[in-house]
Structure 1
Amino acid sequence: MHERNHTLDPSAMAFQALAWALMEESRAERLLSLTGLTPEGLRSSVMERSTQAAILSFLEAYEPDLVACAAVIGVSPAVLVQARQELDA
């Protein structure tokens, strides 16, 4: 786990979260459905802060995914929430 005062790149968190979400087909389909993105739209907008925030918001909307993703990428769920807040700012 990262220390609370450790600065993490919100975009890096979003990319790691996206990679985790896409590892399971049903979760990937749910991500696209809930964000309104198409696979092409995701590819073309993944560098945009709003898309990165949407990826993290997707995790926030379902706590089991938020907790599982955080565990896999080695951060606390709060770090992912903080990254989304920074991307939304």
Structure 2
Amino acid sequence: MTARDTSPKDDPAIIALGALGWILQSDSRGERFLALTGLDVDTLRARAGTPHIMMAAIAFLENHEPDLIACADALDRAPADLVSARRALEDICDRC
């Protein structure tokens, strides 16, 4: 899937950044994300738009299904859309 094949709404990076924003709306969820990924706030700020961080955000949600479902609902998406976005970002990283 290339940028030409997707609308902005379906862009994996847009979906992933929405998911990351949703994660960080909750202090406890954000702290858990940082703890589990080993990131600190400064690194997260500096690298939030990179495929690796965006993939980590969705993988974090995939590892706790209630959060995956709640995030998908908040973003008006299907949970499978988030999983597909992570897979698309993985494909991008594989080419890097």
Give TM-score scaled by structure 2 length.
0.83
Structure with more relative contact order (C-alpha pairs < 8 Å, separation 6 or more):
1
Residues 1:35 and 2:37 are matched in the alignment: yes
Aligned to 1:56: 58
The residue identity in structure 2 corresponding to 1:50 is H
Kept in 1, the 8 Å contact 2:12–2:85? The answer is yes
1:79 pairs with 61, 78, 81, which one?
Answer: 81
Separation of aligned partners in 2, 1:24 and 1:50: 21
Separation of aligned partners in 1, 2:43 and 2:58: 16
How far residue 47 of structure 1 moved from its aligned partner, in angstroms, is: 1.7
Structure 2 unaligned runs (5+)? 1-5, 92-96
* Alignment size in residue pairs: 84
Identity, in percent, stands at: 43
How far residue 59 of structure 1 moved from its aligned partner, in angstroms, is: 0.5
User: Pairwise CA RMSD of aligned residues?
Assistant: 1.2
Kept in 1, the 8 Å contact 2:33–2:60? The answer is yes
Secondary structure of 2:43's partner? helix
The residue identity in structure 2 corresponding to 1:12 is I
Separation of aligned partners in 1, 2:69 and 2:17: 16
Larger radius of gyration: 2
Separation of aligned partners in 2, 1:26 and 1:53: 20
More helix by share: 2
Secondary structure of 1:58's partner? helix
Q: Deviation above 4 Å: which 4+ runs of structure 1?
A: none
2:67 pairs with 50, 65, 80, which one?
Answer: 65
